[in-house]
Structure 1
Amino acid sequence: MGIWVLICLVSIFASARNVEAETNPFLILCGTNSSVNVHRRKWVGDLASDSNLTLSSPGISASTATFNGDSTYGALFKTARLFTEAANYTFKMDPGNYYLRLHFCPFSFENHNVNESQFDVMANSLKLVSAFRVPVELSFNNSYIQGLGSNSSASCLMKEYFLGVDSGQLVVKFIPTGGSFAFVNAIEVLPVISQLFVDTVSKVGGNGATSDLNLGQRGIETMYRLNVGGSEIEPNQDQDLWRMWEPDTSYMFASDAGSSVNNQSNITYSSMNDSSVAPLLVYETARAMINTQVLEKRFNMSWKFIVDPNFDYLVRLHFCELMFDKANQRIFRIYINNRTAAENFDVIVLAKGMNKAYHKDYFDVVSPQIDTLWIQLGPETVAGAAGTDALLNGLEIFKLSRNGNLAHVSETTGSGGNDVSAKTVRNHILWIGIAAGIVSISILAALCTLFFCLRKKNACPTKENSPGWRPLSLRGTIGNSTTDARGSKFSGGHLNLNGSIATVRGGKRFTIAEIRAATKNFDESLVIGEGGFGKVYKGEIDDGTLAAIKRAHPQSQQGLKEFETEIEMLSKLRHRHLVSMIGFCEENNEMILVYEYMANGTVRNHLFGSDLAPLTWRQRLEICIGSARGIHYLHTGAERGVIHRDVKTTNILLDENFVAKMADFGLSKTGPALDHTHVSTAVKGSFGYLDPEYFRRQQLTEKSDVYSFGVVLFEVVCARPVINPSLPKDQINLAEWALKWQRQRSLEAIMDQRLEGKYCPDSLKKFGEIAEKCLADEGKNRPTMGEVLWHLEYVLQLQEAWLRSNAGEESSSLVAENVEEADTEVSQNLPVSQDDENCIEVRTEDDGKPLTRRTSGLGGTVGCDEFSLLVNPQGR
């Protein structure tokens, strides 16, 4: 009997300890001996007698009288503990799982510059951060930011970790590095009684396979925690674990891809084990694809996150079906970093009903070369669901430790510490080996060269006519190679009396003397452009003809491949709206191209950033039409076509008559073969113009140029940079900002004010529709360049008719005549539909009678009803 009594007492005592641990977490306010209450939770000073911790070194107590953030949480950030040498916080606790939260809010310390603070943090044997600099972390916003309420600026951050404690204590150690100091404002250690994580998790791209992550022995860092489709959830609203849930809007790739839905009816957990996974508030709101104001059904809701490369990640998705009550009504796919994580995903089936909270975990590995993690949900195309929809209520991303390490140090900032990592040592050894190998190979090559030169003295090139780079003409890229009197190869031409070589296809081969004379020995005052390849000079050749002379830098290999590509492309492409290559020079280790001179420079210079006179609306339309003709020729003029891959306003040049010509073909790629739909290649292009589908899939198509051209169209009408970080967040990216206004049919609100009253409203309306269609998220939903070209010509006809009407002319017959001319001009490129319903109506000014033409629409054959959908898109 006594034994049973003893067992019962032990059980009661153990239960009491668990209850005490659950209800009394460590809430430590650093740098003080006083206490504060925040949301009914008492935070105790780290020097207070009842703090229940041991501090190995008192360090320096720092305080500030003011805090600029939310007043409720500001009490935690008015004091801090500063350490100039390593120091430990030791917490006595029972073995188990815990949340450790470190709170940082930099302010001016006496005689200490917070911008120079740099330190490591350890939790028992787990390294949490290395060379950690709070101001840098805040500026890059690469970690999980505690919002501190809607009124707070992102001036403070919280690092949250989930870890297991096997011994009877948790030691949090702060270690200054690089002769600097460490600091912390508050520390939170919260016991986790329920099981938040399971070891067996579905593997992304594993076709149903699972991975045993052994999470009980690994540290976990919370990177992101989002309340998808809803507002911010503050810690006091998640009272089990006091977690912060951010809104998802700022992480969405296209905010219009999913609309917010909510349902506050009786939501319950699908399993009692899920009760602490997330509060029910997370499941009361969601983001869904249904009822979004977009034109196409086949697209994904996408979220983009910056993560630390070369780590394992656990992605937790939260679901609750708020609208449908039967299976097969909403089925979708889940993609993580462009790989399929789940197919035929039906929340009703998995959660066992409507209004049932459910979550699913996925495991993925981020490679050393990638610092982004994409989460995408899209319709299941083969499942036969009643609606092509997807739904998501919440999202969490956790970083998993590797070999006891959660720390990541950017290669651009370095560690700044005193220790040299094993990786650094390996890199030094590697580079020493590479250098030794290069020296050995160079010596061997020199000996071989000397041997052959002695045997064939006449064949050994002299310094004067050394071939240098000369990569293309020696490969016969420009015409057929021939040998001149000096033994140098050139491309299919004849030797002129002055020693220059005129080629049949590649243009004239200039001597270096001619190039120096044309550029006044490369006078810096003649530089009109510069890039990674080198400089572009304005020069005079032959009888005074002006030319643009591009000189690649002989001491740098940067841009050499692009330089070769440009020669190859221009040697076989000829069109009025492509910049022409006059010739080249390849003497004295030089690689120089000579182009026709474009007197009016780039289109961008005429839109903003200069004192040039503004372009008229008609000029802008003609420039867009000219550049569209050039791109259309690239796509259709060769057997497999050519994809420009860098369409932007700085690559559209204007001659003395403002005729637009496409330039800079260094990134161009030959199009896919007939039995392929795309070219698989690394992503290259210019930020702001880059096709998101190409970026996600690394699959290049002609529609990638169409997307970039759509950005150009918006840039032309708005006359502002495509990326402007100085603007408010929603205006930084021109494509996103302009699309928002275009979808509201209010593009005139953001157009160049210098055009006010000088444009035809109907022409602007059609222009905006074309640009919007070019920026469709999926390439298959974008028009071809031929279709874009015709519609731009149609826009120009509207503008010209409007100008004539304002001048008092009769415009009816002119509109008809001009439209018929446009028909004739593009009929070879655009098949005309014979369906009487597929029409666009153009109403004349005098009698109101419709002038009808049949046309292939944007992205396919478009009937009158469908065309009206472009004007006023409703539903899907």
Structure 2
Amino acid sequence: MKVQGAGNMGILLLVIMFMLKLSVKAQTVSYLINCGTNSSVNVEGRRWVGDTSPGNNVTISSSPGIEASTNVFNGDPVHEPLYRNARIFTEDLNYTFQVPNGDYFLRLHFCPLAFDGYNVNESYFAVEANGLKLVSEFNVPGEISEKNLNLLGSGARANSSYYYILKEYFFSVETNSIVVDFIPSRGSFGFVNAIEVIPEINKLFVDSVSRVGANGGNSSLNLSKRGIETMYRLNVGGSSVKPSRDSLWRKWETDSGYMINADAGSEIRNRSNITYANPNDTSVAPLVVYETARTLTNTEVMEKRFNMSWKLQIDPDFDYLVRLHFCELFYDKPNQRIFRIFIDNKTAADNFDVYVRAGGMNKAYHEDYIDSISSKNDNLWIQLGPDTTTGSAGTDALLNGLEVFKLSRNGNLAYVQTYNNVKARKTSRSLILWVGIGAGIASIAVLAGVSMLIVWFCKKKREENDTKKIPPAWRPLSLHGSVVNAKGSTSYQNLNGQLGTVRSGRRFTLTEIKLATNNFDESLVIGVGGFGKVYKGEIDDSTLVAVKRSNPQSQQGLKEFETEIEMLSKLRHRHLVSLIGFCDEQNEMILVYEYMSNGTLRSHLFGSDSQPLTWKQRLEICIGAARGLHYLHTGSERGIIHRDVKTTNILLDETFVAKMADFGLSKTGPSLEHTHVSTAVKGSFGYLDPEYFRRQQLTEKSDVYSFGVVLFEVVCARAVINPTLPKDQINLAEWAMRWQREKSLEKILDPRLRGNYSPESLMRFGEIAEKCLADEGKSRPTMGEVLWHLEYVLQLHEAWLRSNAGDYNSVSMVRDLGPIDEGESEVANSDSGEPLKANGDVADPMDPMAVGVDELSQMVNQQGR
């Protein structure tokens, strides 16, 4: 009896195990549907079944739409069998998949091909899954620019001839079925190429997640009631990972295209025996993701304030789950690499030690964070930087992988996105009718406008004839529509017809200007240019100023004059010459600047009897000028390109603080959708960017090139163009670059510096100048990077000075800047030690090159041009 009982127990156990296997098998059922056909195809080792194939266990609605196919396919041959077909629908369409309750991935494939009678540019539709809104007014344009491709997120894949969109969602099923509804917008249609339903039997997400920001703590995601959309999945520091290498058939993109500065992080890899820190995490990411990483580039800068930064386009007004993947590949002990994590400019974690959290080296580990994005923000910043407060051996950071997921809000994941190059759709006949009516009204308005224009033109001609009697040859500011407002500042209309405001705006009378300059006494002239003359003046309580009087006969001077008003009226920075006021009386156009008592940088390098500048002074002047240019490039939404960087436009005050001057040729930088400004070539010979000269495409890197010439001019103390020299020495940039490439820059050094400089600082200085003069703009550093390295060069020289003075305890160049405040990365102001950014506010953590400046004081005794 006991034996029989034991046998029964064994049979029972076998039955239980068999049922468990059946249960697991049921849980692993998946669907790969090839839409718009009854044919099955194989793609990357997986079999996709036609949505009308018999026995596919998929139910399509009674109005299945249209089966479409194309003979024209220029895309990836791997996906050709799958994307040649699509199901087009003009009425509601739904697919029903019978599945056990659980968690599932739903992937929708869209490839906008040319189908007879259907223009995908006019396709707009919505998609829902089990009542969860996935997309609304969704459009997959047939043609798309690189910028708009980025707007589609990591779901958009492209090559040179085509692209496709993969939308991936994750949600829980409690009804034993998944119903996917496709709903065309009124008067439009939609299409879908393929559908995936993939079960997730391991627990991929947990409900309790750390919240970023000051409040911190954990938040419950309530995932059983929320849907998730994958926005980005990046393999950091490595190549893309094909879906076939992922157990859940997920594709991992490379991260370099999303980094603010890809050079900020060095790629490392280690294919040793990597294992999961938690054995249940096998579905979180494949091990190949943890075999590569990015660590902070070794810049050899003692002040570690440099962050690796990723900028990701997201939909505003949603919660986001950020998943960071880590695996310590180098250090085999704790406290060797400790760093801080910032998400959306808020602290997510500090004192982060991967070795400690993962439980050792080569342990795959991940951390999740949740952040709420406001309705005004469409970018998500991820940053990792060193935590210098810990005293760890390596002030470094490390990241192996990055995922960003959007969480549904009130059952909605949809966000209406538009694209610049998509034609506006026609929604109904009534709209067409209204457009026709509007066109008729517009035609009448145009006729009336033409009539008025003719009348105005005739009147204008009469006024011009009258104006010719008024000398000089140009109209002063008052004739360009200037109006003094109630606050005493002046609004004016510039040459482009835009209304600007001179906010710095003290409005001088001509009598005050004549009194300040002793009636434009020639003995007070301190500069002459195409615009006219600059006089040294004295206003109010003996305050010295520089008075620029424009030459009425110079049309070029007029344009530069107005550009300078427009630029300086909105610029305030310690390293930019400040505009005090103006005068526009009696056909005069006069600007009043702060007085710079030590004149131009060039005058202290050569051509005068001035005391030669020390190497330290030259470095500090270059740093000041770089700060001013960095502010120009980054201090406004589109930035400003100076376009005339040279030593005569770098002015020095009584303490030799450098300030950039002369903004007459300056241009507003390109908008986000452009990489350059197309404009006629202007600048100074010898400093001109050759790429700008060839292509007539102006970028911030054109200023960087000119600044590189300035750096060599500071080293050599000679003119940039000197026709009296031998042929190979006429052009300073070419001559100095030859010596720099031979690592012999000291041979052409200003003789007055011999023995009074740090050889290592000169070597680093030459390397910076060489990088600035790279042939292609994309190979040159930004002004922020130039500034950062110049600061380091100064520290090298200061350490050398202390060493020569016998202060061997001061050789270390590390300056204690204190801990980084929440969400901030700092570079200290060498003057005050305070972490400020260009406009005097707290440094922005997403700007790793943020520099400190003092708040601009009241106008002081300094010189302007």
Q: TM-score range by the shorter chain?
A: 0.5 to 0.7
Q: Partners in 2 of 1:107 and 1:359 — Cα distance?
A: 39
Match of 2:355 among 348, 361, 365: 348
| 1:165 aligned partner, one-letter code | V
Residues 262 and 322, structure 1, Cα contact 8 Å, conserved in 2: yes
Q: Quote the offset at 1:96 in angstroms.
A: 1.2
Q: Quote the offset at 1:39 in angstroms.
A: 2.9
Instruction: Indicate whether 1:156 and 2:174 are aligned.
Output: no
Task: Please name the residue that 2:725 is paired with.
Answer: 804
Cα–Cα, structure 1 residues 366 and 197, in superposed 2: closer, same or farther, change >3 Å?
same
Task: Please name the residue that 1:129 is paired with.
Answer: 135
Task: Please name the residue that 2:457 is paired with.
Answer: none
Task: Please name the residue that 1:257 is paired with.
Answer: 264
Q: Partners in 2 of 1:417 and 1:507 — Cα distance?
A: 70
Cα–Cα, structure 1 residues 22 and 818, in superposed 2: closer, same or farther, change >3 Å?
closer
Matches within 5 A, 1:374-385: 374-385=381-392
Instruction: Indicate whether 1:719 and 2:691 are aligned.
Output: yes
| 1:115 aligned partner, one-letter code | N
Matches within 5 A, 1:413-432: none
Q: Secondary structure at 1:76's aligned position in 2?
A: helix
Cα–Cα, structure 1 residues 41 and 549, in superposed 2: closer, same or farther, change >3 Å?
closer
| 1:793 aligned partner, one-letter code | V
Task: Please name the residue that 1:274 is paired with.
Answer: 281
| 1:234 aligned partner, one-letter code | K
* CA displacement 1:629-653 (0-9 Å, x = unmatched): 99969999xxxx9998687446649
Instruction: Indicate whether 1:317 and 2:327 are aligned.
Output: no
Instruction: Indicate whether 1:59 and 2:65 are aligned.
Output: yes
Q: Partners in 2 of 1:237 and 1:715 — Cα distance?
A: 52
Q: Which has the higher contact order (CA 8 A, sep 6+)?
A: 2
In structure 1, stretches of 5+ residues that fail to align are 420-463, 479-488, 496-500, 509-538, 553-558, 597-617, 619-625, 668-683, 691-710, 726-731, 740-750, 752-766, 772-787, 824-831, 843-855, 868-876
Cα–Cα, structure 1 residues 62 and 634, in superposed 2: closer, same or farther, change >3 Å?
closer
Cα–Cα, structure 1 residues 116 and 632, in superposed 2: closer, same or farther, change >3 Å?
same
TM-score for the superposition, normalised by structure 1: 0.58
Task: Please name the residue that 2:191 is paired with.
Answer: 183
Cα–Cα, structure 1 residues 64 and 310, in superposed 2: closer, same or farther, change >3 Å?
same
Match of 2:36 among 31, 34, 37: 31
Task: Please name the residue that 1:166 is paired with.
Answer: 174
Task: Please name the residue that 1:471 is paired with.
Answer: 485
Q: Partners in 2 of 1:393 and 1:574 — Cα distance?
A: 40
* CA displacement 1:568-598 (0-9 Å, x = unmatched): 989x9999x99998633799xxxx97679xx
| 2:208 aligned partner, one-letter code | T
Matches within 5 A, 1:214-293: 214-238=222-246, 240-289=247-296, 291=298
Cα–Cα, structure 1 residues 341 and 582, in superposed 2: closer, same or farther, change >3 Å?
closer
What is the Cα-based RMSD across aligned positions, in Å? 5.8
Q: Quote the offset at 1:307 in angstroms.
A: 0.9
Q: Partners in 1 of 2:38 and 2:104 — Cα distance?
A: 25
Residues 508 and 583, structure 2, Cα contact 8 Å, conserved in 1: no
Instruction: Indicate whether 1:143 and 2:152 are aligned.
Output: yes
Q: Quote the offset at 1:18 in angstroms.
A: 3.3
Q: Secondary structure at 1:860's aligned position in 2?
A: helix
| 1:662 aligned partner, one-letter code | D
| 1:116 aligned partner, one-letter code | E
Matches within 5 A, 1:290-369: 291=298, 297-369=304-376
Residues 716 and 748, structure 2, Cα contact 8 Å, conserved in 1: no
* CA displacement 1:379-413 (0-9 Å, x = unmatched): 11111111121111111010111111111113777
Cα–Cα, structure 1 residues 85 and 290, in superposed 2: closer, same or farther, change >3 Å?
same
Cα–Cα, structure 1 residues 113 and 265, in superposed 2: closer, same or farther, change >3 Å?
same
Match of 2:794 among 827, 849, 860: 860
* CA displacement 1:801-832 (0-9 Å, x = unmatched): 896244899x9xxx999987998xxxxxxxx9
Instruction: Indicate whether 1:44 and 2:44 are aligned.
Output: no
| 2:324 aligned partner, one-letter code | L
Q: Quote the offset at 1:211 in angstroms.
A: 1.2
Task: Please name the residue that 1:15 is paired with.
Answer: 20
* CA displacement 1:124-154 (0-9 Å, x = unmatched): 2111111111127964122344577x97866
Q: Quote the offset at 1:19 in angstroms.
A: 2.7
Task: Please name the residue that 1:662 is paired with.
Answer: 662
Residues 471 and 564, structure 1, Cα contact 8 Å, conserved in 2: no
Task: Please name the residue that 1:444 is paired with.
Answer: none
Residues 578 and 630, structure 1, Cα contact 8 Å, conserved in 2: no
Matches within 5 A, 1:488-499: 491=507, 493=509
Q: Partners in 2 of 1:265 and 1:105 — Cα distance?
A: 39
Task: Please name the residue that 2:655 is paired with.
Answer: none
Residues 90 and 169, structure 1, Cα contact 8 Å, conserved in 2: yes
Matches within 5 A, 1:454-469: 469=483
Task: Please name the residue that 1:454 is paired with.
Answer: none
Q: Secondary structure at 2:406's aligned position in 1?
A: strand
Instruction: Indicate whether 1:548 and 2:558 are aligned.
Output: yes
Q: Partners in 2 of 1:866 and 1:688 — Cα distance?
A: 44
Q: Secondary structure at 1:405's aligned position in 2?
A: coil
Cα–Cα, structure 1 residues 367 and 796, in superposed 2: closer, same or farther, change >3 Å?
farther
Q: Quote the offset at 1:157 in angstroms.
A: 1.5
Matches within 5 A, 1:342-741: 342-410=349-417, 469-471=483-485, 474=488, 491=507, 493=509, 548=558, 566=568, 583-584=583-584, 648-649=640-641, 652=644, 662-663=662-663, 716-720=688-692, 735=701
Q: Secondary structure at 1:794's aligned position in 2?
A: helix
* CA displacement 1:238-279 (0-9 Å, x = unmatched): 1x2111111112112212111221111111111112111111
Q: Quote the offset at 1:340 in angstroms.
A: 1.4
Q: Partners in 2 of 1:331 and 1:282 — Cα distance?
A: 21
Q: Secondary structure at 2:23's aligned position in 1?
A: helix
Match of 1:100 among 99, 106, 110: 106
Cα–Cα, structure 1 residues 163 and 130, in superposed 2: closer, same or farther, change >3 Å?
same
Residues 561 and 664, structure 2, Cα contact 8 Å, conserved in 1: no
Task: Please name the residue that 2:96 is paired with.
Answer: 90
Instruction: Indicate whether 1:117 and 2:115 are aligned.
Output: no
Q: Partners in 2 of 1:643 and 1:249 — Cα distance?
A: 22
Residues 98 and 162, structure 1, Cα contact 8 Å, conserved in 2: yes
Cα–Cα, structure 1 residues 373 and 5, in superposed 2: closer, same or farther, change >3 Å?
same
| 1:93 aligned partner, one-letter code | V
Residues 160 and 222, structure 1, Cα contact 8 Å, conserved in 2: yes
Q: Partners in 2 of 1:505 and 1:800 — Cα distance?
A: 37
Matches within 5 A, 1:786-865: 792-795=713-716, 797=718, 804-806=725-727, 840=762, 860-863=794-797
Q: Partners in 1 of 2:304 and 2:395 — Cα distance?
A: 7
Q: Partners in 2 of 1:274 and 1:685 — Cα distance?
A: 47
Equivalenced residues, count: 617
Cα–Cα, structure 1 residues 216 and 857, in superposed 2: closer, same or farther, change >3 Å?
closer
Q: Secondary structure at 2:725's aligned position in 1?
A: helix
Residues 264 and 284, structure 1, Cα contact 8 Å, conserved in 2: yes
Q: Secondary structure at 1:719's aligned position in 2?
A: helix
| 2:222 aligned partner, one-letter code | N
Residues 566 and 666, structure 1, Cα contact 8 Å, conserved in 2: no
In structure 2, stretches of 5+ residues that fail to align are 429-477, 493-504, 520-548, 593-606, 608-617, 652-659, 675-682, 733-744, 765-789, 802-865
